[in-house]
A and B are shown apart, each in its own frame.
With several copies, the nearest count.
Chain A
Amino acid sequence: MKFENEMKIEFDSKSQNEGFARVVVAAFVAQLDPTIEELADIKTSISEAVTNAIIHGYEMYPGKVYIYCKIVDDVIYVEIEDHGKGISNIEEARQPLFTSKPNMERSGMGFTVMEAFMDNVEVESVEGCGTTVMMKKTLLSLRATKEEACNE
């Protein structure tokens, strides 16, 4: 039988909610018993996408950040959405070290971190409408445990 669970969360585009978003996703993912490294990968990726929504999507304007999270067996699927200003050139935005806010000391490494730490990252954006980042990761730890259990 498939193991499935999903949740949605919506919160204000305030920087103090970045840590909150990490805790929420980490708590939801905890049911899969991830390794410390897997959990760190997911928390870091969430942090990057949520920060981007707040500082690039909404800039100084107040708005809502939406996270949708789904677990199907050992696969975690996360969507981070904002209704902010959108990205005009997604390809350029995803380049390592590219940032539109160097004066804010942004490193331009957000998308690179997500791509390195998750199995798959897709970005959809419409200028003036907002951005959705979709990420997927398979927890190998869980798969390994299951295989062990089968071999016993």
Chain B
Amino acid sequence: MSLTYEIKHRNMIVRLDAEIDHHKAEEIRDRLDQLIAMNSIKVLIFDFSNTVFMDSSGIGVIMGRYKKMKQMGGDVGLINVNSNIQRVLKLSGIYRLVKNYESVQDAIKRLV
């Protein structure tokens, strides 16, 4: 897994793997849930700048984190989503709940 993250004031920015499929999704989910719990994260930003491939397993990961964060009064945002991945996300209707942002700053400003 090549997931890297950065935490600032309970905001976590996670740079995801190059390919997100079912095989990777399980690892990503477990790692994220651990990081969220350990650091009492309030805002989770998924950074797709390294990600070239994502199938519907990725929707599951984002939705799952969204529900979790909302329950705890937190929120979720996305940055650097390429057009192919946007097409997958659009199909699912997830954009009604979770949005793309211009930058980390932009996301944090609007979500916190």
Contacts and interface: CB of A to CB of B under 8 A. Distances in A.
Do A's and B's CB atoms come within 8 Å in the complex? yes
Interface of A: 15-16, 18-19, 22, 36-37, 40, 43-44, 47-48, 51, 54-55, 96-97, 104-107, 109-110, 112-113, 116-117
A32 B23 CA distance: 16
Given A112-B91, A113-B91, A48 B55 contact: yes
Interface in B21-79: 21-23, 25-26, 29, 53-57, 59-61, 63-64
B84 interface: yes
Looking at chain B's contact residues, the main secondary structure is helix
B21 A107 contact: no
A36 B82 CA distance: 12
A146 B43 CA distance: 38
A106 B58 CA distance: 9
A108 to B, nearest CB: 8
Q: How large is the interface on B (under 10, 10 to 19, 20 to 34, 35 or more residues)?
A: 20 to 34
B19 A113 contact: no
B53 A113 contact: no
B103 interface: no
A103 to B, nearest CB: 10
B2 interface: no
Contact of B22 (A37, A51, A113): A51
B55 A105 contact: no
B92 A107 contact: yes
Contacts of A109: 56, 59, 91-92
